[in-house]
Structure 1
Amino acid sequence: MQTTSIVQRWVRGSLLMTVLALVLAEGLFLYFSYHTLYGGVQSAMENRFSTIEGRLQATGTAGDAAVTAESRARTLRRTVEQFDEKDKFEFMLLDASGVILANSSGIRSTDLTGGGDFALALLQGRGNDIYTTTQGERVMAETVLVPYAAGNIAAMRLVTSLRLADEQWWSTVTLAVGLGLLVLLVSVWSGLFFVRSIVRPLGEVETTANRIAHGDLRARLPDTRYDDEIGRLCKTINQMAGDLAETERLKNEFISSVSHELRTPLTSIKGWVETIGNIDDPNNEYCRRGLAVIGTETDRLYTMVEELLDFSRLQNGIKLNCQVLDLVAEATDAALFVEARIRREGLHLEYSEPPEPYPVWADPARLRQVFVNILDNAVKYSSPGGTIFMTLTRTADTFTAAVRDQGRGIAPDDLEKVKQKFFKGKNAVRGSGIGLAVVDEIVTALGGWVEITSALGQGTTVSVVLPVYRPGQEHLHEKI
């Protein structure tokens, strides 16, 4: 596809339409100006003829036809002799052959015998023509056949110079063309100024976006003083770059944290394997202790790897195998599953099972994972002797499962970020740090949401809110 610029599109589109509209307006203006100017000259001639024809009509209203024709001829000759507008017009009397019988100047000039007005008059009764004399002067001639018999006089003719009219016409043309060029120049200047105000920031946007695409997440667009579409685009790109930089930072911290978490059990396993390798007696106390540590650390590694795999699957999108479930039963099973570990850590679990079922549309394995992750976090962040509270409540449209601990709590600055990918707060303990991110992904896919409240030194409450199941909602949340 051929590459085009905004300037080229503006020239081919807006500017071309402006030029065409300007040319059309100029053409119409000059057309009407021409006909108004030269039509005015022709109208002046026609008015003179109307006056003369009125005199002819009043002449010889009585007597025979010969006397009337003769009277009209004398009236026409007298009109030529007494014509008082000789400075403007040349008044002529013509015979049937177009020969000049008399004229107002008294000079039989052959220079004024050109033009096709007489021939048109013979055909139409009236003829008008503009022509150039042998002396190079443009004139307008109007010929009218005499409507009544007037001896050998067949037609009347008026000739006038168009010098003043031509000068006025060319002044009008010059003014119109000048104004048209001025309008075009202003349009081009304003258009280029406007297009440039768009093209320049877009060029900066393109350059900055390319830098970001090639990994320079510190690239930023300069602040713009305009709060328009381009200004908002620049702010959005800067925000995007900031979010990408923050995500990159969190990802690097996440990789570093997970690497550290993986290294610790691997180091312990390697050390005990070497120790056990030097012991010949399987019943040795160090051998049994080493095997126990290896088993514990292996379980820890397995749990972290499973969390990472789950997080990866959720990011890539997985199919949920949803069905109608009892939220109470799922929460109770999760509590029983984690209760043994809670006791080992010296903690207590407070949980009262509601008597009635809470129907929800969910994937049983994923819902179990949600409860286990939340309870696991509560165990990790609680101090020995503390209590973990698990409560289930309902409204007309939602069910809420809340887990509250009495642990160290979450810093206010971290509270809004704990559900983000790769984020680990300031008070985070060992682990991959993606448990809440996985929980949020699953609950959101099931049509619910996760609420977290916390106070430093007092504990944290994680609430999972799911919609009440009603028939017909089976396919609302099939995929993440």
Structure 2
Amino acid sequence: MKRMKGIRKRWMMNSISAALLVVLLAVTSFSVAMVSYYYSNLRTGLQSKITVAANMFSGYKTEADYYQNASAFVTGQFEDSDRLNFQILDSEGVVHFSSLIQISGYKPDTPDIHDALSGQPMGVWTGADPNTEEHIMAVSCPLKVNGEVVSVIRIVTSLALVDRQIFIVVGVALTVGLLVLALLYFSGLFFVRSIVEPVVQVTRTAEHIAAGSYGVQMEKQFDDEVGDLIDAINDMSLKIKQSEKMKNEFISSVSHELRTPLTAINGWAETIMNGEVRDAQDVKKGMGIIVSEARRLTNMVEELLEFSRIQDGRFTLSIEPVDIKAELEDAVYTYKEFFRRDGIELHHTDCEEEFPLMNVDSERLRQVLCNLLDNAAKHGGSGKRIDTAIRREEDEAVITIRDYGPGIPEEELPHVKTKFYKGSSKARGSGIGLAVCEEIVVRHQGTLEIGNAEGGGCLVTVRLPIGT
């Protein structure tokens, strides 16, 4: 669970924090834009109205005419008196007339009035009314008689409705931002959970595998990288289970293979040593069995040593020019008499085409050929015939060894070269001979193919590049 919390925490710190910052910036920018938009439009409208009013008063030549017409304008001609306060102020900044309320002698003393009295074309100010503390916007414009500022016209409006509208718009924007953030959070939480839960499952499964529960499988829920990980773990679990099974079978098989010849050697050795066999022929027969079983033990130990060298990376080749046809003929000649004693005929088909000397390890190649011939007799000897042949196909030397036995079950063919695999065969052996053979052939940049021949029996094909 610590890992799950860790991933969620990192996601919260990275994704959600970044999203929250973006939403806040967006809402803030939108709010500022809305405030600027509403205030700017309102300011432009007020400036337009006060410009029109200022133009109306600009034609008066005396201060008396100005005040007389200003009073009439404020009381009757100003059209927006219900929502705008039109004021007339003297040169001291004191209100003389007001369209909204009957007020005089009031001195607002705001920055827009100071700007107008100082001769600036127009003053604009937004803030709290000094008298009512209401949020207002005011625009003031000077009126001049004979070049001197004799009065100021001022339009004042309340910002309560505008502020409320801005508050509503900003509130809606903030609500939308929070909804987007909530949607991102829950969708991200679902996504994180879809990753965390399989990872937790993988962790638990790996712990079970480490504890010895080989072959345990996980359910794949998503066809993505996590699904690929689960497939890999499931495949690993099955392969470990298979390897464990083969290892146990190998130990059992090797134990049996070692026990059988040791029993024969020990039995005959004790019999001869105790003098229970007096006939010379029987003694010779017993010694022959001892030699034969000792040789079989030696071969088995050699296979195990070869396999150990392959696993440890200590497997090397001693390359030298070799006549491959002669090597195959020597192997056939060596086994022909052995097979004849067991009632098996060994037929060899030579190739008329001459082969150039090939750079191979002659001892390793002989080991491959002998192992394959021994397997052919061991597993297909019931057919009483084994055929060998060599031919050239383009730049490859192709050696085939075929027996006429029962062949290999189709479902076992993909696994016959797997270390320790023996399948349904009851023949004696460690189950690593073919794995060693393939390693040797591959080290020579060749291929070892095993399949069933047409008409029955097993066909083994060794391909070696002539240019090696």
> What TM-score results when the alignment is normalised by the length of structure 1?
0.87
Between the aligned residues of both structures, percent identity stands at 37
In the TM superposition, what is the alpha-carbon distance from 1:72 to its structure 2 partner? 5.8
> Which residue of structure 1 aligns with residue 21 of structure 2?
20
Q: Indicate which of 301, 304, 307 corresponds to 2:300.
A: 304
Q: Indicate which of 30, 49, 73 corresponds to 1:79.
A: 73
CA distance in 2, matches of 1:104, 1:333: 128
Structure 1 unaligned residues grouped into runs of 5+: 61-65, 471-480
CA distance in 2, matches of 1:51, 1:384: 121
Mapped contact 1:409–1:454 kept (Cα < 8 A)? yes
Change (3 A) 1:281 1:420: closer
Question: Is the partner of 1:221 in helix, strand or coil?
Answer: coil
CA distance in 1, matches of 2:184, 2:383: 81
Question: Is the partner of 2:381 in helix, strand or coil?
Answer: coil
Stretch moving more, 21-30 or 179-188: 179-188
Stretch moving more, 307-316 or 70-79: 70-79
Output the amino acid matched with 2:304.
Answer: L
> Which residue of structure 2 aligns with residue 46 of structure 1?
47
Mapped contact 1:324–1:469 kept (Cα < 8 A)? no
CA distance in 2, matches of 1:370, 1:211: 40
CA distance in 2, matches of 1:170, 1:248: 72
Q: Indicate which of 240, 257, 269 corresponds to 2:265.
A: 269
How many residue pairs get aligned? The number is 461
In the TM superposition, what is the alpha-carbon distance from 1:320 to its structure 2 partner? 3.0
CA distance in 2, matches of 1:323, 1:110: 123
Change (3 A) 1:265 1:124: farther
In the TM superposition, what is the alpha-carbon distance from 1:221 to its structure 2 partner? 1.1
Change (3 A) 1:372 1:147: farther
Mapped contact 2:94–2:105 kept (Cα < 8 A)? no
In the TM superposition, what is the alpha-carbon distance from 1:196 to its structure 2 partner? 0.9
> Which residue of structure 2 aligns with residue 449 of structure 1?
447
Residues 189-268 of structure 1: matches in 2 within 5 Å? 189-224=186-221, 226-268=222-264
Mapped contact 2:125–2:137 kept (Cα < 8 A)? yes
Stretch moving more, 145-154 or 349-358: 145-154
> What TM-score results when the alignment is normalised by the length of structure 2?
0.89
> Which residue of structure 1 aligns with residue 456 of structure 2?
458
In the TM superposition, what is the alpha-carbon distance from 1:74 to its structure 2 partner? 5.4
Output the amino acid matched with 2:114.
Answer: A
In the TM superposition, what is the alpha-carbon distance from 1:313 to its structure 2 partner? 1.3
Mapped contact 1:347–1:388 kept (Cα < 8 A)? yes
Q: Quick check: 1:156 aligned with 2:150?
A: no
Question: Is the partner of 1:86 in helix, strand or coil?
Answer: coil
Residues 15-414 of structure 1: matches in 2 within 5 Å? 15-56=16-57, 59=59, 66=61, 75-81=69-75, 82-105=77-100, 107-108=102-103, 113-121=108-116, 122=118, 124-133=120-129, 134-146=131-143, 149=146, 153-224=150-221, 226-279=222-275, 284-317=280-313, 318-323=315-320, 325-354=322-351, 355-358=353-356, 360-383=358-381, 386-414=384-412
Question: Is the partner of 1:383 in helix, strand or coil?
Answer: helix
Change (3 A) 1:149 1:299: farther
Question: Is the partner of 2:415 in helix, strand or coil?
Answer: coil
Mapped contact 2:348–2:387 kept (Cα < 8 A)? yes
Mapped contact 2:87–2:95 kept (Cα < 8 A)? yes
Change (3 A) 1:385 1:218: closer
CA distance in 1, matches of 2:328, 2:120: 109
Residues 409-428 of structure 1: matches in 2 within 5 Å? 409-428=407-426
Mapped contact 2:143–2:149 kept (Cα < 8 A)? no
CA RMSD of aligned residues (A): 2.8
> Which residue of structure 2 aligns with residue 436 of structure 1?
434
CA distance in 2, matches of 1:343, 1:190: 77
CA deviation profile, 1:252-301 (whole Å, cap 9, x unmatched) = 11111111011000001111111111119987443322222111110010
In the TM superposition, what is the alpha-carbon distance from 1:401 to its structure 2 partner? 1.2
CA distance in 1, matches of 2:253, 2:268: 23
Change (3 A) 1:138 1:270: same
Structure 2 unaligned residues grouped into runs of 5+: none
